[in-house]
A and B are shown apart, each in its own frame.
Chain A
Amino acid sequence: MAGPTTTTAKVDYAAAMNLAPVAPGDWLVVAPVLIGLLGGAICLMARKNVSLQPKLAMFFLSLLVAANVGLLARVLDQGVITMVMGGWLPPFGIAFTVDPLGATLSLIASVVAFCAGLFGISTVDSTGRRYGFYPFLVLLMSGVCGAFLTGDLFNLYVWFEVLLISSYGLLILGNSRVQLDGAVKYGVLNLIGTNFFLIGTGMVYGVFGTLNMADIAIKISELDAPASGTLLTIAVLYFLAFAMKAAAFPVNFWLPASYHTPNIVVSAVFAGLLTKVGVYALLRIMVLIMPASREYLADLIALVAIATLLTGAFGALAQSEIRRLLGYLVIAGIGAMLAGLAIGTNPEVTTTAISGTIFYAVHSIIVMTALYMAAGVMNQLGGSYDLRGLGGLYQQNVAFAALFLVLAFAVSGLPPFSGFWPKVILVDAAFSDGRGWLGAAILFSGFLTTIAMGRVWIYAFWRGGPEGTPDGQAVAPADGQSAGTVIGATVWVPLGILTAMVVYFGLQPEWMIDLSARGAAGLVDPLGYVRSVFGDQ
């Protein structure tokens, strides 16, 4: 690679390189990834210093939140922004293209990671810290943000791998039997899913000779048959790959097998973030790049969505282990998001449905993380993750019980919390698109979720004590602790932030609805996205 300073021949570098000076503000595009990588590296070097690590990690995670706030503000102000790595012009250089969708999800993800880091201070012991909880958490965030912000298919694959390898590290944090067993299933299934993704990417390159998302979107829209056999094959490969990542119905089994095994804060991060990255990639590829294939596959996606909704809800009903129950609720949420992807033959309805999916993704990231954290607190208070061994938590801590009730309402999609609005949008879009059965499936799944969460409430909180104790009489825990275990600030603050967001998005949904609508509009009509990458041609 001959740099500009080492050659004397006259060449017009402007044909291949972006020579215009880059404003420092545009560096916000790569800032989340950079903070993740540099912060993760520094935490990795300080792995043995267990008391310094949380401080370092919290510093970088708060920096990450700040960078994402700045990025979202800039995107909302200036429209889609692009930065090409090394100055090489697209489609040859790797482009980071940030639209409102990517920036929003990146921000919500970093807030959740910040809360998880805070929660981890009390739940991850020094062994877990030495195994690298904080470095892996920060590196995971660089992968998640990179996936949300990149504008290149192969680069998306690389960020998926970054988050996958960090998630392996987090999953086996304690090296126990259960964790290794769960990690094998998680690892194998996710690696196979990634390989499907890679096959699809190779085929895209074979057909179009480019991997830049905006470039592919143009080339596909110029085709005579934008849903030909080859393209449909690619679309189905991508759908399968990201359905695997998102744990949609036929390929969902790895999630309930592994998500309850790690430390509870790791489960919380995974439940919040990882599956939603898969949903995001589906949105990006099916709506932005391959809209014709999405319309062709809409019935298939709808069927998968319904099956996922029902699997998740029925699975949750059949579990007495709270963490596994929540794992199934993650799957049910994925079903609702996929439903939004299936709706819409005209741009208007599609935009509404996709905005519902985006809002639901935001809601699900927040509420699932908060619920797993709440499960951790329930274990702390009642000494068990099993419904049979829990009871009397309401008497122990009324405030926590109230907080759990809010989250239970939100995850069931009941007003006035954040789960209500995306479901309203999705069901409304489904009925106006003539897919009433899809809307009915969302409602039915919400109904079953309400029953499952209601059962958790009644057994763990409302009744007097665990199974085997006379009703109305809480017994002191066997290990001699007093019944009123104190919940520290590092638990209350993250749980409080997340619950406050749930309540805020429920009572003041206009802001989020508007933001998701902008994100969806940018996907359905990719003109702004393409212009940001290639200029106003």
Chain B
Amino acid sequence: MRTVIFRTIAPYLSALMVLYSIFVLLRGHNEPGGGFIGGLIAASALAIFGIACGVASVRRAIIVHPMSLAGFGLFIGAAAGVISLFTAQPFMTSQWWPVNLFGVEIKLSTPLIFDIGVYLVVVGAISSIALALEERESD
């Protein structure tokens, strides 16, 4: 699999896919998309990078261990539900903070935080499985 063409293209392809995954994540707010599907795209980007350039370089590229990434995602996902404790509403009631930035209304909200958490959990969990499989293949 490690042809010159693939190895040259893979980093760009992966970068593009990660960018696209973030687009899908944010778009998922009101339209098809969302944290899970975005996370899957990002995880497959990492998998492609791993196939082309080796698992070690993927681990270097994402700095933290994928499982820690998943842990962080789980943490902010669960924490997003706790915010409604302070407004005397039940667990997971969505809170909205619309922000006006250069004339565009951006709806910051707890569902968005939750979705980012889902994204990170999926990236972390799926890529750690994918990397584990790729690692076994080489030895």
Contacts and interface: CB of A to CB of B under 8 A. Distances in A.
Contacts of A200: none
Contacts, number: 75
Nearest to A96: B91
Interface string B80-111: 01100100111111101010000000010101
Interface in A23-48: 23-24, 26-27, 30, 34, 37-38, 40-45, 47-48
Which of A27, A42, A86, A132 is packed against the most chain B CB atoms within 10 Å? Answer: A86
Interface of A: 1, 3, 5-6, 18, 21-24, 26-27, 30, 34, 37-38, 40-45, 47-48, 83-87, 96, 132, 135
B27 interface: no
Contacts of B109: 3
Contacts of B72: 41, 45
Nearest to A95: B90
B91 A85 contact: yes
Nearest to A24: B85
A55 to B, nearest CB: 17
A37 B78 contact: yes
Closest 6 A-B residue pairs measured CB to CB? A44-B71, A41-B75, A21-B88, A41-B74, A37-B78, A45-B71
Interface stretch (B11-19, B32-40, B47-55, B62-70): B62-70
Range class of the B interface residue count: 20 to 34
Contact of B94 (A41, A86, A96): A86
A130 B91 CA distance: 32
Contacts of A27: 85, 91
Contacts of A21: 88-89
A6 B107 contact: yes
Contacts of B82: 34
B75 A45 contact: yes
Nearest to A169: B67
Which of B88, B90, B94 is packed against the most chain A CB atoms within 10 Å? Answer: B90
Contacts of A44: 67-68, 70-71, 74
B111 A40 contact: no
Nearest to B72: A45
A5 B91 contact: no
11 contacts: A6-B98, A27-B91, A34-B82, A37-B78, A38-B75, A41-B78, A47-B65, A83-B90, A86-B91, A87-B90, A132-B67
Contacts of A6: 96, 98, 107
